[in-house]
Amino acid sequence: MTTFAIDLIMQVLQKTTQYLSLVKFSHTVFALPFAAIGFTLAISHNALPVLWPLAIKVLICMVTARNAAMAFNRWADRNIDALNPRTALREIPAGIIKANRALWFVIINALLFTVTAYLINNLCFYLSPVALFVVLGYSFTKRFTALCHLVLGAGLALAPVGAYLAVTGRFDIVPILIGVAVLCWVSGFDIIYALQDEQFDRENKLHSIPSLMGKKHALQVSRILHFLTAGFLALFLYQAHIGLLAWSGLAVFCALLIYQHSLVSENNLSKVNIAFATTNGIASIVFAGMVITDIFLLN
């Protein structure tokens, strides 16, 4: 292999790594397991075999929609991020990725999402603009409402519902229940993450639950949302008639939620990243793994 080829490969790998960092690709672990639950439930309830070509299309939709949402958020917030010491080294304000290239990345991913939705079924295609409106629109909500956390939660809540619709082409109460659970779960841990920027948000007239209510009351709201998460997940398992293994998965999920809140207090934010990324990532994977295993055992 020539030196030119090696250099080219290294440049491609470097650029790929930069864009993966831009969209925080590792955080896909939050919504993807719940999309897998929605997909598995749909094939189980309709006595279908595992539809691998369709599963790949759903995965493409998940990845491209999230890529578009995260890159657009970074593009829209580039000037705000530059002012915040915590975010000033992100790819766009740091000059690693140019703003116009990030915007093209958004456009390409949004188009890929729409085309893939068209290839799945008519309902998914017709709803694709709605999904993009929610996941892209979130980026502006912090400018006018403290309910921005709920909008982020709604964006991720589309994952299990959309995966179910991809298989069935119709709505059902079961994926909606798990979607509401995801909304509450994501909103709750996003409030915890936003604790880091309470003072910055207040000084720059940005809206969040912490900047509106303070750290102590924001944590209380987060706890309430996570209590609702547990309730909706329990209702989902009951309605879906899933067995003991799945209920055990819920117990683990709830234990990790409790652990998450034990890591953070109004006076100690040193473990926010562990509470936000690590704990929630493990919780979603374990819960989804046990639920999906239970579904296949029932079949």
26-40 pLDDT per residue, tens: 767 788 999 999 999
Q: How many other C-beta atoms are found inside a 10 Å radius of the C-beta of residue 109?
A: 23
Q: How far apart are CA 173 and CA 200, in angstroms?
A: 40
Query: Taking residues 145-153, what's their average pLDDT?
Result: 96
Structure confidence at residue 299 (pLDDT): 60
Question: For the domain that residue 52 is a member of, what is the CATH number?
Answer: 1.10.357.140
pLDDT tens-digit readout, 240-295: 988 899 999 999 999 999 999 999 998 888 888 877 778 999 999 999 999 999 99
Residue 16, pLDDT score: 79
Contacts of 107 (CB under 8 A, 6+ apart): none
Predicted TM-score of the model (pTM): 0.94
Average pLDDT over residues 148-168: 96
Q: How many residues does the chain have?
A: 299
* Residue 5 within any structural domain of the chain: no
* Full domain range(s) for residue 85: 14-21+28-298
Residue 168 domain-assigned?
A: yes
Determine, yes or no, domain membership for 6: no
Residue 20 has pLDDT above 80, yes or no: no
Place 24 in a pLDDT band, splitting at 50, 70 and 90.
Answer: confident
Q: Report yes or no on 130 lying in a domain.
A: yes
What percent of the chain has pLDDT above 70? 96
Residue type, 129: P
Task: Quote the pLDDT of residue 216.
Answer: 95
Task: Say if 227 falls within a structural domain.
Answer: yes
pLDDT of res. 223: 97
Average pLDDT, the chain: 92
Q: Is the pLDDT of residue 7 over 70?
A: no
Radius of gyration of the chain (CA): 20
